[in-house]
Chains A and B, each alone.
Chain A
Amino acid sequence: MSDENVRPDSIEASIRSIERKEDDLVVVVRLSNTASRALHYICDVRATRYDPETKTLTVAMSDEGRQVIPGAMSKLPEIRYVDPNGEAEFRVRVPEKMVKLSRSAPPGELAFETHRLSEAESLVVEVGWSDVPYYKDTRERAATKEARLPAARWEQHKARTRTRMPPGEKG
């Protein structure tokens, strides 16, 4: 990835707006491509994480860190591209509430913890990107020992931006 001025920071991300709609948070993300070739990015939310200690909500358009587990189906990411020296904008919806299995409950007890967007003080948006669109690896040896999801293997870099949550959005 050394041609057409492609560098790890070739895609710059910024948050254009944050708005509450119904029970969700709608975030408009703008990407700027400073390279001279089209760059491809994931535009759907793949993971949402909340750190109660730092009160940081991270919305990731990236499969990095996600585990391979059984499921009803495997949803491939939505990939779009941004033109060379161009911009792209997309919206993501973040549910107002996040429910997780609680690790602070007594051992073996099934309990949950609920976090609401109103608790978050910072929002981090991460966008995984590459200089080619996603494509599957059809080699015979391909999948057996790979622990990462395919889109995590595809991703070359991540554009990241952080913002304070607007005062009106907190509880």
Chain B
Amino acid sequence: MTIFILNDAAGIGSNDLDPLQAFVDLVIIANDDGIGLDDPVAGMQRVTYAPTLAGVPQTRLDALVNTVFTPDYGSGPQTVDVIVIAGLSGFTLDDGTSFANNGTALAPASSGLPGAPLNTTESCLVIYDTQQNICVARAGTDGDIDLPISNPVVLYHEFSHAFRIVNNNLLALTSECDPASPEENAAIVEENDLRTQIANRQSVTPELRDPNIHCGQVGCDSGCCIIATLASRSLSSREVQGLRAVRDHFVRSTEIGHDFFERFFRDYYSFSPQVCTLLAGERRLAEPLLEGFVQPLLIFWDLMIERSRGEMTPLDLGRAFVARHADRIGAEGRLAALHLVSRYWQAEGPGDDEAPAELLGLLRERAWPREHIQWALIVPVRIYARALAVYLAGGDAETIGRELAGGLEPWAAEFPISDLWARLSGEQAARELDMCRRVLLRSEDVEQRFLRRLAERYGDITAIRALLRGTPSQPGARP
């Protein structure tokens, strides 16, 4: 295969491209005197490379430049070249996608690979914006998108795709960016090879990209928990990150969890934007909201995540609660905030100086009556408040744990029954019930209460009837 850099073409002028930057980027990748360019022919310059240095990027570049690849995409072997199109201002694909602040590798038109329909040639086109200001997810963080990506690294990333395109072994490419698809994961792993080598050349610690996250943004500085953001005054506060983690990793990993979240989300966003608008004019409410609602919710769900990972006795539960309340004075302030905020949720009278009528009316009409809001937000905070009161009254860990367990059991059994249960096959329903057991239905009694509710609602559905009849020897039954 041969790599060319495009420096002129019909329909555009040479001033529209940035071939010099492309060559500079190649030089940085190679870090080697052996990289060169032939004279232009028909608007393109062929890259030459005689490596003198060893290294992963050098080996890859050598293979790309000096190997003739003849992939067979189904119509017989064909020689495929790579053409680098750098910095083409205003470049847009047929589907409307602009290549400002991005890069791509388009497979040959007849290959049938992703991107091929957008390519008008039988070459692999590597296109990237040399004025890009891309920011990507940093490795070793919780997906923080604050890592810049340099032009050589963008080019090398696209070369990774190109290498698999011309070998006709492109990995699976999916529409999601988190988690990254296998193809993008591989390209990022290889991108990190270059990052590491460049850092080593400069005697600095490599800053690597998270290979599991392909999402990015323009500029380094996202779906948020809206009330938590407002109360904590930051999209990246610990509270928002915590609730986001609960949302993304605990609630939505299964069909029933996803369905629950969809319904909860729809209910939540029927009032939360207006709550935030109202709170923006009532800044004094932000602190009580943070202490009396967001923090308790975060701790509650944090405890639930810990509880879902293994058996916890009431003593274990109590100890976990105490460990999260080392600051007793802070805990007393929180209990006061809890009492205040509980009035907002449960207020029946008109507004007062502390909470405007409009806010109370909104919560009363849109939040309080909704099953998913009650289960996910209001009841958990109430359970937490009772445990906190026991703690502050001098209760020991065992007593606190029993208080918590006493609240968790009926709450868990009341997990909203979704109509999705009526659409699951027997096997799917059994799998979902197993998930519910692991995460919520932690005792025989709680499970039976939940199953009674499921039977009342969908006992006439064959798959549910089979699930309810499950014996210890069959899937769906508690071992």
A residues contacting B by CB (< 8 A) are 3-4, 37-38, 40, 45-49, 58, 60, 65-76, 79, 81, 83-84, 95-103, 105, 108-114, 131-140, 142-144, 146-150, 153
Contacts and interface: CB of A to CB of B under 8 A. Distances in A.
A37 B265 CA distance: 13
B175 A149 contact: yes
Given A73-B134, A112-B10, A132-B265, A67 B115 contact: yes
Given A132-B266, A144-B172, A66 B223 contact: no
Nearest to B183: A70
Given A49-B96, A73-B214, A74-B215, A110 B252 contact: no
Interface stretch (B116-124, B349-357, B409-417): B116-124
Contacts of A70: 104-105, 114-115, 158, 161, 170, 173, 183-184, 187
Contacts of A153: 175
Contacts of B122: 108
Contact of A110 (B89, B123, B262): B123
Interface in B85-111: 88-98, 100-106
Contacts of B181: 143
Contacts of B115: 67, 69-70
A73 B106 CA distance: 15
A133 B268 CA distance: 11
Given A47-B95, A74-B177, A112-B9, A139 B254 contact: yes
Given A72-B102, A75-B101, 13 more contacts: A3-B270, A40-B269, A47-B95, A69-B173, A75-B217, A99-B11, A100-B93, A110-B120, A111-B11, A113-B11, A114-B90, A135-B223, A137-B258
Contact of B98 (A48, A96, A132): A48
Contact of B120 (A3, A73, A84, A101): A101
A69 B90 contact: no
B258 A109 contact: no
A158 B343 CA distance: 40
A37 B269 contact: yes
Interface of B: 6, 9-12, 16, 83, 88-98, 100-106, 114-115, 117-123, 125, 128, 132, 134, 136, 149, 154, 157-158, 161, 170, 172-178, 181, 183-184, 187, 214-218, 222-223, 247-249, 252-255, 258, 261-262, 265-266, 269-270, 273-274, 277
Contacts of B83: 110
Contacts of A150: 175-177
Secondary structure of the A contact surface, majority rule:
loop
A103 B253 contact: no
A131 B134 contact: no
A87 B363 CA distance: 22
Contacts of B88: 99, 112
A140 B88 CA distance: 38
Q: Which 7 A-B pairs have the closest CB atoms?
A: A47-B96, A73-B216, A112-B11, A74-B177, A143-B174, A38-B273, A143-B176
Contacts of B214: 73-74
B118 A109 contact: no
A68 B134 contact: no
Contact of A99 (B90, B103, B104, B249): B90
Nearest to A135: B223
B268 to A, nearest CB: 8
